[in-house]
Homo-oligomer: A and B are copies of this chain.
Amino acid sequence: MHPHRSRGERAGLTRAVVLDGAFDLLTTHPVETLSLRALARHLGVAPNALYSHITDKSDLIEGLLDHALAAVQSPPARTPPADALAAIMTSTYDVLLAHPALVPHYLARQGSRGPNATHLGTSMLGFLARADVRGDAAGEALRVLIVYTIGFAALTTSSAAEPRAPLSQEELRGNFHNGLRWLLDGITAHRGSAST
């Protein structure tokens, strides 16, 4: 199975190499769900060799999620708040669509752990504050925007997997955009009113 290396030889694995390999596998074979064994095959190592660089499959997923979020574009600081938030969410939506296999995992972690996700969150809170949405309402608006964006990405990717899709990708993207506008209108209309 792995004829190139004998018992003690190094394969040159690193956490970065493993992550890049997984990213490779995910982008070249977007349909199938990522498995550690397939990743090991892709890297030319035994399945359990991965455990020297990751603690777990969920640890790998975690790393991939944040790695992907690095591609999200942030608008200039003086962009009108609602437009800026729409731009960030739309960019996130596009990034998620590029990695369908990761989408189901995003909702679970709310995009909260990694540095890229954190940076994105604080950036969004900044724009929300500029729209006079602060405190509890800002935290709630943040979660609502994230849930909506990831949820719609999940809908879009699963719809893309079906052969006779009722809606095209363009229609779904337009639907996402309109819903995002409704949401931002609702959020900014009620600014400052944190409720319980």
Contacts and interface: CB of A to CB of B under 8 A. Distances in A.
Contacts of A183: 179, 182-183, 186
A42 to B, nearest CB: 25
A154 B150 CA distance: 10
B140 A151 contact: no
Interface string A151-176: 11011001101000000000000110
Given A151-B107, A155-B107, A155-B110, A186 B196 contact: no
A30 to B, nearest CB: 16
A124 B101 CA distance: 31
Contact of A182 (B107, B174, B187, B196): B187
Interface residues of A, number: 35
**Number of copies of this kind of chain in the complex:** 2
Contact of A196 (B174, B181, B184): B174
B182 A144 contact: yes
18 contacts: A104-B104, A108-B161, A110-B158, A140-B178, A141-B182, A144-B182, A147-B151, A147-B154, A147-B155, A148-B148, A148-B151, A151-B152, A174-B195, A181-B186, A182-B190, A183-B183, A184-B186, A189-B189
Interface of A: 104, 107-110, 137, 140-141, 143-144, 147-148, 150-152, 154-155, 158-159, 161, 174-175, 178-179, 181-187, 189-190, 195-196
Given A140-B175, A144-B152, 14 more contacts: A108-B155, A109-B158, A143-B155, A144-B148, A144-B175, A144-B178, A144-B182, A147-B148, A147-B152, A151-B152, A151-B154, A178-B195, A179-B183, A182-B187
